[in-house]
Amino acid sequence: MSDLTRREAIAGSGAALTLAMLGAGTAQAARSDENEPRVVVLPVTPDRVAVVARMHSGEVLTASQGSERRSRTAEKNVAVLGLAVAKSARSRVVVEVAGASRTLDVDTRVEALRASELRVVNKRVALTNKDKPKKLATAGAVVVDARLQHPIKRMIKAAKKDKVDLEAVSGYRSFEYQESLYARYERRDGRKAADTYSARAGHSEHQLGLTIDVRGADAVHELEESFKDTPTGKWVAAHAHEFGFVVRYQDGQEKTTGYRAEPWHLRYVGDDVARFLHQRRDIKTLEQLFDLPAAPGY
């Protein structure tokens, strides 16, 4: 979650989720040639995976593991769904797309989760104090998972071309840092209030290194819900998905995410997933996208 007193920020950068370029060990991509559908399965939690497929819009992606079976229609040539699998283990997922069926291996054990760009953390799903990005890098004034370096720089450059001065002000936060930050808010506002805008240690997306908080260079409405009505906020809402980011905590989703709206809080999920979510305006959270339980409280 964002730092509402703010400015203790650190963040960084990395690479977009392009299915053909995913690193080995986090998932298995199925591809025979450039004209055929491409599918990847990535761990989301210790007992759930995300199936992401590039295919023709309107085609249906179906995935199954054991008795679990899910389907979703492709939008903008991408389909994304969540699927339950064996907890913290290696599993085989059967994927059906474009009339073809194939079996893919997936690993939801600790190291695979730590490498996944689609890992979810919320009030129900926690990280440990040992969880941190494998490699950190800087992008502007912040430190993040190294895979975000280029997407952040590209996004800031594109915004500037549209005469929007976009800045990243917070990125990676360690377990210990989040612990002290939350404690400060709890002392100031009480636990009930703090829980609406700050994550307890182990439950912050910033610990993944895959999240940034942004603002305009003029700092107008910085870390305020009214940021969405500024030129910078409007640009972010319209274009962040082009660089692999989504606005993670949207207005009206508190009963699912557990947090009030944060139009400045961007979560990196890669180009394909971000594009799919931008097109599917009816799916507003990662919990909905991956068929995870709502997480309104701890």
pLDDT band of 26, cuts 50, 70, 90: very low
Two structure tokens written together for 87: 């907890």
Two structure tokens written together for 45: 């939690």
pLDDT in tens, 152-174: 999 999 999 999 999 999 999 99
pLDDT at site 99: 84
| Higher-scoring residue by pLDDT: 27, 183 | 183
Tally of CB atoms within 10 A around 257: 23
pLDDT in tens, 123-134: 999 999 999 999
Nearest-angstrom CA–CA distance, 92 and 106: 6
Nearest-angstrom CA–CA distance, 64 and 12: 36
pLDDT in tens, 130-152: 999 999 999 989 999 999 999 99
pLDDT at site 31: 41
pLDDT in tens, 236-293: 999 999 999 999 999 999 999 999 999 999 999 999 999 999 999 999 999 999 999 9
**Structural contact between residues 175 and 109, judged by C-beta atoms closer than 8 angstroms:** no
Nearest-angstrom CA–CA distance, 20 and 76: 17
Kindly state the percentage of the chain with pLDDT values over 70: 88
Tally of CB atoms within 10 A around 237: 15
Instruction: Please give the distance of CA 138 from its chain centroid, rounded to a whole number.
Output: 19
pLDDT at site 20: 32
Nearest-angstrom CA–CA distance, 294 and 286: 10
pLDDT, average across residues 87-115: 95
Going by their DSSP bridges, the two strands 90-97 and 60-65 should be labelled as: antiparallel
pLDDT score of 122 more than 50:
yes
pLDDT in tens, 52-77: 999 999 999 999 999 999 999 999 99
Average of per-residue pLDDT values in the chain: 89
pTM comes to 0.88
pLDDT at site 273: 98
pLDDT score of 10 more than 70:
no
pLDDT at site 140: 82
Per residue, what are the HEC states of the chain? CCCCCCCCCCCECCCCCCHHHCCECCECEECCCCCCCEEEEEEEECCEEEEEEECCCCCEEEEEECCEEEEEECECCEEEEEEECCCCCEEEEEEEECCEEEEEEEECCHHHHHHCCCCCCCCCCCCCCCCCCCCEEEECCEEEEHHHHHHHHHHHHHHHHCCCCEEEEECCCCHHHHHHHHHHHHHHHCHHHHCCCCCCCCCCHHHHCCEEEEEECCCCCCCCHHHHHCHHHHHHHHHHHHHCEEEEECCCCHHHHCCCCEEEEEEECCHHHHHHHHHCCCCCCHHHHCCCCCCCCC
pLDDT in tens, 172-203: 999 999 999 999 999 999 999 999 999 999 99
pLDDT at site 237: 98
Two structure tokens written together for 26: 């986090």
